[in-house]
Structure 1
Amino acid sequence: MSTLIISEVFGPTVQGEGALVGKPTVFVRSGGCDYRCSWCDTLYAVDKKYKNEWHTLSTEEVWGQIQALSPTPILITLSGGNPALQDFAELIRIGHEAGYTFAMETQGSISKPWFNQVDYLTLSPKPPSSEMETRWDNFDKCLDVARNHEAVSIKIVVANDEDFSWAREVQARYPSYPFYLQPCNLDAEEVTLEQGLQSTRELIDRVVSVGWHDATVLPQLHNILWGTQRGV
């Protein structure tokens, strides 16, 4: 039985980002990440200084928490941190056998064989404002291992004009995948409704002004509804 380092398991709530925005889900948030984005809004699941809040659990224990939250099948979202650091293959197998589906978001820095088992895979390379650098060879490996390309979408957060230009280059590099944009909140410690709405309006204005008709703009729904509140 495999073990998993888990920051939190919560829900049911709704997915707040990307292709599945608004879909009811239970989140399994892993602990640990190979990135340190400058504007990270989940440092409690990234920085090891918070590891006293993380839990080392067996797959069966994580599955038990999921079933306690939703005893009937629901979408399970694997998040982080970077869930690619861990082995979720067994959890996915158990969940599928019970009728649950799985989504995962990762930056595309690490590929794992079990990526081809998830029902929805969101790859979210980090833009220049994150101060992280994408290794496209690693990103391509993530795409290669996800055999069902229809399950894959690409999502990029945009904080400024440089990020916006970079996002257009990324879509030109991967034109066959559904492509989502969302505003980036540079102040992860304080999010207000007006900030969320304003940043979304500004991103829409950018997209419309350049005639970028192949991208889908979405707000960070959870931030608009709940701000920085955890567990929702």
Structure 2
Amino acid sequence: MDSTKAIDKPAAARDAVIRTAPRRRGADAYDTLLWRLQPRLEEVREQNDGAGFLVGITSCDRKAGVSTVAANLAIRAADHQMRPVLLIDASAEHPTVARQFRLRGVQGLADVMAGHCSVSDAVHETTVDGLEVMPVGTTGLMDRVGLDCQHVEALLSGLRESHQMVVFDLPLTSELRHMLLIARRLDAAILAVSHEQTSATLLERAAEQLRSDGVPLAGTVVCRHKQRVPSWIRNRF
């Protein structure tokens, strides 16, 4: 084969290869969320000379699917070549990333914030091409860490330089506490809402609280949607 011809493929053909993403069950919803974030992502890159995009997922209800949304959004971003992507577990009271990616006992965000390890030591590879994760880290350490604004700013600036997208699995809106230092510096925050469980009043209060705290709320995503029509009927139409 002529190697010159292989290199000189038309741009459209090259883009078609680059943008082909793996098919994953249930990926459509996360792809939609990703595309809706795209305008903000492009704006951030233009304003910050190609810097990475920081997005956080939170909720006002427990078991609303925050960790599911955060993990799948990060996976689909990696699938769509927004690499490298980093998923960070910032929910110290209910951590899930270490379990999801079988990384128990490793260093993570708390260890970085406490100065016990470098960022590179707290970032771990996964089996998903282009996706890395940073779990919470040492159990109980986050509650003892005195977070410093300059330290947080330096951390996030470094992550913007090293990753195209960083997804934070955040605590509940009522439990953000010191994680507000991170949440305020995000480019976008998403509220995960449990279908038929999160009341409109609670959602409105949570949204208003985030805005008053200076968190850039971009919108909501409905999780755990219940199908009212039996599957055997849906499959016939």
Please classify the TM superposition score into its range, dividing by the shorter chain length: 0.3 to 0.5
TM-score, length basis structure 2:
0.36
More helix by share: 2
Rg comparison, structure with higher value: 2
TM-score, length basis structure 1:
0.37
